[in-house]
Amino acid sequence: MTDTTVQTKALSRNQWWDVWDQFKTHKGAVVGGGFLLFITLAVLFGPYLWTLDPQRLDIRAKDMRPIYTLLWDSGAKVSWGHPFGTDNLGRDTMAKLMAGGQVSMAVGWVAMLLSIVMGTAIGVVAGYFKRFDGLLMRFTDLFLALPLLPLLLVIMMLFRDSLRKSFGPEMGIFILIVIGIGITSWMQTARIVRGDVLALKERDFILAARSIGTSPRHMISRHLLPNVMSPIMVSATLGLANAIITESALSFLGLGFPSDFPTWGKLLFDATDRMELYPERVIWPGICISFTVLSVNYIGDGLRDALDPRIRGR
């Protein structure tokens, strides 16, 4: 594994071009990447094109159906002004999906990255350095055992007001939520990475690297991390979905964003009671969440293949 890296380096061409070439051949990854790019751009720049305020109520235009309902029901209450329909208070669904996407994507990515970085760091250190193993794993057990809800309530109570003062109400809550989700979801990654590292460090190539005096830092970054990438990728994909859904559970409990602040998870939750009357209100946020997660999954697959020199060489 390491020798391949060294060889590629020796060539004048940057190894990342190889990775990119390999990545491009992975159809799923390209489609996934395209979708992710599309949805990210849509939620970021969509509101500049579709300028309706997602919090603006228009009670006369409540319960509008999406425009495509006309295809099978010519009597449906629709309007070109609200192509995706409106909710029970007359807020525009398209504007809500875009505004909600900004929040859900931001929360999902930041919380997931936080949890993955924490989990990986703790897992690698515990697996590689025997003297930290016991302590770090007992620490992990402790976090696994803490009841989530009271923990979040305490975090909210202790830090909400001070964060609100320094970062404003929305940014303050955002920081609280990502930290809350991050520090309550890193444990699985930590245990998986540690388990893999425990096995890896007895493998021949690691023993060989150690015998030539590779420093622990080098060992971790060059030999261990690349070999635990794939479970980390899976953790990241699952973690993204988990963070987006957990955020909605938090706002339901009153621990999240203010109630008129749409997020994908909350749109889905609020619409569940009316799924028979207005199926579009559950379908669209549902599709947004699962397709985002699905595309991240494919990108992860593509990256994994691209980063694996054995496959790349094939």
Partner 1 sequence: MLNFTIRRLLISVPTLVFISLVIFLLLQLAPGDPMAQVPLTVPPEVKQKMREALGLGQPIHIQYWKWLVQFFWVEPLHLFDYMFNTVYSEGMQRVISWQTRSPVMDIVAQRIPQTLWVVGMSYVLGIMIALPLGIISAYKQYSIFDQVGTFISMVGFSVPTFFTGVLLIVVFSVQLQWFPSIYDTTHKVTDFSSLMFQIKQMIMPVSVLALYNAAQIGRFMRASMLDNLNQDYVRTARAKGLPEKVVVLVHVLRNSMIPVITVIALGVPQVFGGAIITEQVFKVNGLGQLLITAIQANDLPMVQTLTFIFAILIVLFNLIADVLYGVLDPRIRYD
Partner 2 sequence: MTLMKRAIGSALALSMATMATAERGSDGDVKIIYWQAPSTMNPYLSGGTKDVDASALVIEPLGRYDENGAIVPWLVDEIPTVANGGVSADLTSITWKLKSGLKWSDGSAVTSNDVKFSADYCMSPDGGCAQLSRFGGVSSVDIIDDLTVKITFEKPTPFPYGPFVGAETPVLQAAQFANCMGAAAPTCTDANFNPVGTGGFVVTEFRPNDVITLKANEQYRDPAKPAFATMTFKGGGDAAGAGRAVMETGEFDYAWNLQLAPDVIAKMQEGGKGVPIAGFSTLVERLMINLTDPSSELGNERSTRKHPHPFLSNINVRKALSMAIDRELLREIGYGPAGKLTCNVVPAPAAYASPNNGSCLTQDIAGANALLDKAGFAKGSDGVRSKDGVRLSILYQTSTNAVRQDFQALIKQWWSEIGIETELRNIDASVFFGGDAGSPDTFQKLFADLEMYANNFSGTDPQSYLGRWRCDNIPSPDTQWQGENMPRFCDPAYDALHDKLQGTGDLEERAKISIALNDMLMQAYAIIPLVHRGRLSAHANSLGGVNLNVWDSEMWNTADWYRIK
Which residues contact partner 2 (rule: CB under 8 A)?
55-57, 59, 63, 88-89, 91, 153, 157, 161, 165, 169, 252-255, 258-260, 270, 272-274, 276-277
Per-residue 3-state assignment (H helix, E strand, C coil) for the chain: CHHHHHHHHHCCCCHHHHHHHHHHHCHHHHHHHHHHHHHHHHHHHHHHHCCCCCCCCCHHHCCCCCHHHHHCCCCCCCCCCCCCCECCCCCEHHHHHHHHHHHHHHHHHHHHHHHHHHHHHHHHHHHHCHHHHHHHHHHHHHHHHCCHHHHHHHHHHHHHHHHHHHHHHHHHHHHHHHHHHHHCCCHHHHHHHHHHHHHHCCCHHHHHHHHCCCCHHHHHHHHHHHHCHHHHHHHHHHHHHHHHHHHHHHHHCCCCCCCCCCCHHHHHHHHHHHCCCCCHHHHHHHHHHHHHHHHHHHHHHHHHHHHCHHHHCC
- Distance in Å, CB of 127 to partner 2, minimum: 39
Residue 151 binds to partner 1 (criterion: CB under 8 A) = yes
Nearer to partner 2, 56 or 130 (CB): 56
61 versus 249: smaller Cβ distance to partner 1: 249
- 154 scored as a contact of partner 1 (CB under 8 A): yes
Q: CA dist 28 to 37, 143, 298, Å?
A: 14, 36, 5
Q: Is 198 in the site for partner 1 (CB under 8 A)?
A: yes
Residue 208 interacting with partner 1 (CB under 8 A):
no
Stretch that binds partner 1, among 71-79, 95-103, 216-224, 233-241 (CB under 8 A): 233-241
Residue type, 210: R
260, interface contact from partner 2, partner 1, none, CB < 5-8 Å by kind = partner 2
> What does 289 interact with, of partner 2, partner 1, none (CB < 5 to 8 A by kind)?
partner 1
Q: Which is nearer to partner 2, 37 or 157 (CB)?
A: 157
Choose the one of partner 1, partner 2, none that binds residue 131, judging by a C-beta under 5 to 8 angstroms depending on kind.
none
Per DSSP, what are the bridge partners of residue 92? 86
Using CB under 8 A, which of 43, 52, 111, 245 touches partner 1?
A: 245
Which partner from the list partner 2, partner 1, none does 310 bind, CB cut-off 5 to 8 Å by kind?
partner 1
- The residue from 61, 89, 118, 238 that contacts partner 1 (CB under 8 A) is 238
Say whether residue 185 binds partner 1 (CB under 8 A). Answer: no
Report the alpha-carbon distance of residue 263 to residue 269 in Å, rounded.
10
What is the smallest separation between the CB atom of 82 and partner 1, expressed in angstroms?
23
Written as one letter, the residue type at 170 is E
Residues in contact with partner 1 by the rule CB under 8 A = 28, 134, 137-138, 140-142, 144-147, 149-151, 153-154, 157, 187-188, 191-192, 195-196, 198-199, 202-203, 227, 230-231, 233-234, 237-238, 241, 244-245, 248-249, 265, 268-269, 272, 275-276, 282, 286, 289-290, 292-294, 297-298, 304, 308, 310-311
